[in-house]
Amino acid sequence: MKKLVVNKKYDGKKIVNFLLGEFNNLKQSSIYKALRKKDIIVNDKRINENIVVHTGDLITIYITDEQLYGMQIKLDIVYEDENILIVNKPAGIAVTESTLNEQTLYMLVRDYCKMAMPCHRLDRNTCGLVIFAKNGTSREIIMEKFRLREIDKYYVCIVYGMPYENEKRLQAYLFKDNKKSTVYISDIPKPGYLTIITQYKLLSCNKEKNISLLEIKLETGRTHQIRAHLAHIGYPIIGDGKYGVNKINKNFNAKAQYLTSYKMIFNFKTDAGILNYLNGKEFSISFENYTKLLLD
């Protein structure tokens, strides 16, 4: 069951057009079936016709998530205790809010544990580990530990090209353009640009394909940092539709970007209160599909 409020954009429009506009994967046939079954309610009244809706109308629909969002995602829990939950996020789903009316990781986690709250985010098309807190105290601690860089985050990615150096600590400056939903990288300080530090380590490469598997460790966590920083130095991530190269992505038939948050290490240097027991613990997930692309 979902509740929606009609905004000005759909004032005077048919309810079918409203629902199609709100849910990109919803089919007309599913809406008309719901109308026949009177599974759509407008302002507390069940309807069975394609009526006109107006600004402020409250719409309640009884249509499955699979029909609304086009996929049914299973929650992949990597670790859980009384205070935190670590989930493996799939690519193609936002952690929290989305500009589209679609399923988010937060919604999935809340269905499993109503008290869970996200402690950080990943880009929509980046998969991997996300920490949720089960209580306010744990969330404050985890967010503080991220701020103090006492939780080490490691990523793996496949880039086009082969770095000359096997390991390097990169420093640059990043500007976020909120209107264009993109970031820009500069090698020199500029007004409005924030410092970014990205470490990489070459794990393996395929000279014939001219691609490399890198491990990334973030010292700063800015929006799109890894993707934009690597593209800036000439090693775009395979499958990245924003900072990558479309021709290269097509050559590798990449449907999603090859970037995964695969490992976290709790490396507390200051007191962590009720979460002190996590100090020294490491959590990771497999990235076998990356090795397959590299070797095939």
Is 123 an active-site residue? yes
Q: How far is CA 67 from CA 24, 61, 134, in A?
A: 10, 12, 30
- CA 83/CA 115 separation, integer angstroms: 10
CA atoms 141, 147, 152, 155: torsion sign: positive
Query: Which string of b and e fits 37-54 if b means at least 16 CB within 10 Å?
Result: eebbbbeeeebeeeeebe
Q: Which residue in the list 123, 177, 240, 271 is annotated as catalytic?
A: 123
- CA 26/CA 100 separation, integer angstroms: 12
3-class DSSP assignment, residue 232: helix
Q: Are 125 and 200 in contact (CB under 8 A)?
A: no
Give catalytic residue positions. Answer: 123
